[in-house]
Amino acid sequence: MLKSGEKSGARQEDCQGPRRPHRSASKPAVLKELEAALRRGDGLAGAECIHELCMRGEMAVTVERALAQLWARAADSIPQWLPMRYVEWLPLVYEVAGRCRGTAGGRSNLYLVLLDYADSPRGPHGVYVGMTEYSPAERFDQHKAGIRAAGSVLKRGLEVLIGPVQHLQRLRPSEATRIEAELAEALRAEGLIVHGGH
């Protein structure tokens, strides 16, 4: 997952988004594969294991430890869709965003930004829903640089959450505008702190 411009060359591009090759595996089997990926320095295989643990609702301490180990051992090969930190409601965002569909053939991309709400009783995280003709990583960097920035992203933006909206790239502008609003409203309805989506 790209967080800022200085890391943009450090991660490999993965347009497919996260797969779930370990969906039917037991937790011990997933952890064993994760250990093997860490030994090999295989960022993609490790990311798929961590993603599976997240989607199953694994405890934060386990996921945070696995993320730290993977970043330390395989940073250059971790796909963009893997977040840098544990996000409790990420499986829900995948589910909600997965219901959104659009027609390819345009230049508009949907993007999500993880927001820092550790200072809020509703926190520790919120999400910004946006649409852009830039790549999600480029648009995040623009927000952080104050270029047509949403205040919530400028002040609270932590990282782009690429995985949940990987299928919502290169849409027609009219569809992207509709989906942006629908996705933001659906996430609000699930109780998340949501900004954007206009």
Burial annotation 22-50 (CB, 10 A radius, 16+ → b, else e): beeeeeeebbebbeebbeeebbbbbbbbb
> Residue 17 has what pLDDT?
55
**Does 9 have pLDDT greater than 80?**
no
Band (pLDDT 50/70/90 cuts) for residue 4 is very low
Strands 125-132 and 194-196: parallel
**Does 109 have pLDDT greater than 80?**
yes
pTM: 0.85
What are 117-166's pLDDT values in tens digits?
999 998 899 999 999 999 999 999 999 999 999 999 999 999 999 999 99
Query: For 113-118, what is the mean pLDDT?
Result: 97
Beta carbons within 10 angstroms of residue 96's beta carbon? 18
- CA-to-CA distance for 47 and 19, rounded, in angstroms? 10
- What are φ and ψ of residue 115, in 5° steps? -110, 145
**Does 10 have pLDDT greater than 90?**
no
Query: For 80-84, what is the mean pLDDT?
Result: 92
Cα 137 from chain centre: 11
Residue pointed to by tokens 């609003």 = 181
> Residue 66 has what pLDDT?
97
60-66, Cβ contacts within 8 angstroms, sequence gap of 24 or more = 60/86, 60/88, 66/34
Query: For 33-52, what is the mean pLDDT?
Result: 96
Query: For 72-77, what is the mean pLDDT?
Result: 96
